[in-house]
Chain A
Amino acid sequence: QVQLQQWGAGLLKPSETLSLTCTVYRGSFSDYYWTWIRQPPGKGLEWIGEINHSGNTNYNPSLKSRVTMSVDTSKNQFSLKMRPVTVADTGLYYCAGGDGWFFRWGQGTVVSVSS
Chain B
Amino acid sequence: QSVLTQPPSVSGAPGQRVTISCTGSSSNIGAGYDVHWYQQLPGTAPKLLIYDNNNRPSGVPDRFSGSKSGTSASLAITGLQAEDEADYFCQSYDSSLSGYVVFGGGTKLTVL
Q: Do A and B come from one complex?
A: yes
Chain A residues in contact with chain B, CB under 8 A? 35, 43-47, 50, 58-61, 94, 98, 100-103, 105-108
Q: Inter-chain contact count A-B, CB under 8 Å? A: 58
Cα A46 to Cα B57 with chains together (Å): 23
In the A-B complex, list the 7 residue pairs whose CB atoms are closest, starting with the nearest: A47-B101, A101-B36, A105-B45, A44-B105, A61-B97, A45-B103, A101-B51
Q: Which residues of B are interface residues toward A (Cβ below 8 A)?
A: 2, 34, 36, 38, 45-48, 51-52, 57, 89, 91, 93, 97-106
Q: Please name all residues of chain B whose beta carbon is closer than 8 Å to the beta carbon of A50 when the two chains form the complex.
A: 101
B52 touches A101 (CB 8 A): yes
Which residue of the partner chain B has the closest CB to A1?
B58
**In the docked arrangement, what's the CA distance between A81 and B47, Å?**
25
Alpha-carbon separation in the docked complex, A109 to B110 (Å): 26
Contacts of A46 in B (CB 8 A): 103
For A100, what are the chain B residues with a Cβ–Cβ distance below 8 Å?
Answer: 34, 36, 51-52, 93
Please name all residues of chain B whose beta carbon is closer than 8 Å to the beta carbon of A94 when the two chains form the complex.
Answer: 45-46
Q: Would A106 and B89 count as touching, CB distance under 8 A?
A: no
Enumerate chain A residues within 8 angstroms of B45, measured Cβ to Cβ: 94, 105-108
A102/B34 in contact, CB under 8 A:
no
Q: A101-B52, A103-B57, A105-B47 are in contact. Are A44 and B99 (CB under 8 A)?
A: no
Most buried by A among B2, B91, B100: B100
